[in-house]
C-alpha cells in the first residue's frame, strides 16, 4: 500500500509528526508547498496534516494551496487527517483546520478513515467533530506531548 503524507508547517511541529507517520507506514511525506495534484492522487492512502492557528485558521501554506483539493479526483480515495492544536489557549477552536480539510475532501468524494475519540482531551469546541468524534488524529504538542506517540500508534492501527 502506497502512502503519501501531505502537511503544512511553519515551525516544524506538524512536519515532524508527518515524517513520523510516513516512516511508520513506509510512506513519503511532502510539504503542501511542493505537492502536486499527482502526489495527492497517486497513492492508496492519502494523509493530510495541518496545524490550527489562532481561532480556527488553516496554516498559511494550506491556506494558499487549499484549492489543490478542488483540482484532484478523490472519489472513493482513502484519506486520513491529522492536526496539531492547542486545547488550553484555544479551547473553542481545537484542531479546527482538520474539520476544514474534512469538509473539502468529503465534498470531493473521499472516504475519510481514522476517526478518533475525544476522551483525554480538554477543549470546549472543534470544527473537527462529527457525531462526537474527531474526524482524524488530534494532537496537542504544547500540552500533551507525552500522549503523542501512543495516539499516533492507535490511529495508525485503524488505517492499515
CATH numeric code, 3-159: 3.40.50.360
Domain boundary assignment for the chain: 3-159
Mean pLDDT of 139-155: 97
Q: Give the tens place of pLDDT for each residue, 43-97.
A: 999 999 999 998 899 999 999 999 999 999 999 999 999 999 999 999 999 999 9
Residue 160 pLDDT level (bands cut at 50, 70, 90) = confident
**Residue 65 CB burial class (10 angstroms; 0-12, 13-18, ≥19):** middle
Q: Give the tens place of pLDDT for each residue, 95-122.
A: 999 999 999 999 999 999 999 999 999 9
* C-alpha radius of gyration, the chain, whole number: 14
Q: What is the pTM of this model?
A: 0.97
* pLDDT value at residue 54: 86
CA dihedral 138, 140, 141, 147 (to 10 degrees): -70
**Residue 143 CB burial class (10 angstroms; 0-12, 13-18, ≥19):** middle
Interatomic CA distance for residues 77 and 72, integer angstroms: 11
Please state, as a whole number, how many other Cβ atoms lie within 10 Å of the Cβ of residue 79. 25
Amino acid at each position: 500500500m502506497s502512502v503519501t503524507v501531505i502537511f503544512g508547517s511553519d515551525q516544524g511541529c506538524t512536519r515532524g509528526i508527518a515524517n513520523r507517520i510516513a516512516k511508520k507506514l513506509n510512506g513519503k511525506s511532502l510539504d503542501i508547498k511542493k505537492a502536486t495534484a499527482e502526489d495527492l492522487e497517486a497513492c492508496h492512502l492519502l494523509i493530510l496534516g495541518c496545524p490550527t492557528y489562532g481561532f480556527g485558521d488553516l496554516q498559511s501554506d494550506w491556506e494558499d494551496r487549499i484549492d489543490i483539493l478542488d483540482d484532484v479526483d478523490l472519489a472513493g480515495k482513502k484519506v486520513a487527517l491529522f492536526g496539531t492544536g492547542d486545547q488550553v489557549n484555544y479551547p473553542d477552536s481545537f484542531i479546527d483546520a482538520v474539520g476544514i480539510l474534512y469538509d473539502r475532501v468529503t465534498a470531493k468524494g473521499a472516504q475519510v478513515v481514522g476517526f478518533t475519540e475525544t476522551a483525554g482531551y480538554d477543549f470546549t469546541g472543534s470544527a473537527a467533530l462529527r457525531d462526537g468524534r474527531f474526524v482524524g488524529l488530534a494532537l496537542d504538542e504544547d500540552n500533551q506531548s507525552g500522549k503523542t506517540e501512543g495516539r499516533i500508534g492507535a490511529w495508525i492501527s485503524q488505517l492499515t
